[in-house]
């Protein structure tokens, strides 16, 4: 018997995964999908707040957050490009995890400009809002040097998956977009030079 055949013969079937009922965590994992067809119908402010908390919310008195971070250095900055959110004027806001609050950043609706900077991907223009994940690599590099880029990108994946799962739990749709002109997105959002945009996540009601 060849080594390959031996490996196949040694394959062990696992018990079936638990997928749970419609409200269980397992069902959320089962049903999560990337959604690009979105409606710009207004979102409740509470839903937007829940999504932001899922991305980087503080979960302990000592500052730990919903997503793990190498060395607990938290290099991510979350911005919200709002267009159709109840009780929130169109514009760009920064999420403050420590206060679970939004700080106004720009007054204008930037969804259309973000779409233009991202190869005209319509989900960015159609969404009620766009979560922007930016990274300050220097925060992590101070401790981890050249490994910082890898660690920060892993952290972006953690935060993005949290947003995916929270959106699914709220009956909303989202998708992670990485195809964009970094410099153009930085100009649209007037980011600090130390902040690098890494991912855009349009959010809204899935189109019927």
Instruction: Tell me the two tokens of residue 10.
Output: 């040694």
Walk me through the domains of the chain, giving residue ranges and CATH numbers. Answer: 34-206 (3.40.109.10)
What pLDDT sits at residue 5?
65
What pLDDT sits at residue 8?
67
Stated pTM of the model: 0.93
Q: List beta partners, residue 203.
A: 129, 174
Distance, in Å, from the CA atom of 123 to the CA atom of 41, rounded to the nearest integer, reads 13
Average pLDDT (188-200) is 98
- Mean pLDDT lowest among 8-22, 76-90, 114-128, 178-192: 8-22
- Mean pLDDT lowest among 8-12, 17-21, 35-39, 51-55: 8-12
Would you say 158 and 67 are in contact if contact means Cβ atoms under 8 Å apart? yes
Would you say 71 and 158 are in contact if contact means Cβ atoms under 8 Å apart? no
Average pLDDT (157-184) is 98
What stretch of H or E contains 17? none
pLDDT averaged over the chain?
Answer: 95
What pLDDT sits at residue 1?
57
Average pLDDT (129-135) is 98
Percent of the chain at pLDDT > 70 equals 96
What pLDDT sits at residue 2?
72
Enumerate residues 6+ apart whose C-beta is below 8 A from 68: 155, 158
pLDDT of 200 higher than 80: yes
What pLDDT sits at residue 6?
65
For helices 148-169 and 45-56, angle between their N-to-C axes, nearest 10 degrees: 150
Average pLDDT (50-67) is 97
Instruction: Tell me the two tokens of residue 158.
Output: 């953690």
What pLDDT sits at residue 56?
98
Question: Could you give phi then psi for residue 167, rounded to 5 degrees?
Answer: -60, -45
HEC profile of 129-157: EEEEEEECHHHHHHHHHHHHHHHHHHHHH
Average pLDDT (186-205) is 98
Instruction: Tell me the two tokens of residue 52.
Output: 């932001």
């Amino acid at each position: 018997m060849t080594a390959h055949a031996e490996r196949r013969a040694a394959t062990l079937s696992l018990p079936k995964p638990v997928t749970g009922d419609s409200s269980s965590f397992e069902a959320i994992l089962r049903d999560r999908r990337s959604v690009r067809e979105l409606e710009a119908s207004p979102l409740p402010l509470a839903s937007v707040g829940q999504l932001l908390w899922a991305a980087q919310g503080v979960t302990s008195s000592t500052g730990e957050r919903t997503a793990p971070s190498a060395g607990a250095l938290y290099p991510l900055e979350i911005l919200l490009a709002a267009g159709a959110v109840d009780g929130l004027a169109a514009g760009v806001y920064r999420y403050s995890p420590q206060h679970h609050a939004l700080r106004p950043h720009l007054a204008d609706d930037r969804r259309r400009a973000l779409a233009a900077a991202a190869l005209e991907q319509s989900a960015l223009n159609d969404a009620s809002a766009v979560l922007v994940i930016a990274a300050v690599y220097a925060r992590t590099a101070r401790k981890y040097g050249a490994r910082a880029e890898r660690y920060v990108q892993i952290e972006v994946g953690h935060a993005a998956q949290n947003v995916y799962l929270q959106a699914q739990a709220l009956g909303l749709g989202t998708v992670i977009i990485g195809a964009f002109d970094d410099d153009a997105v930085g100009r649209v959002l007037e980011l600090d030079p130390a902040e690098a945009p890494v991912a855009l996540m349009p959010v809204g009601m899935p189109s019927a």
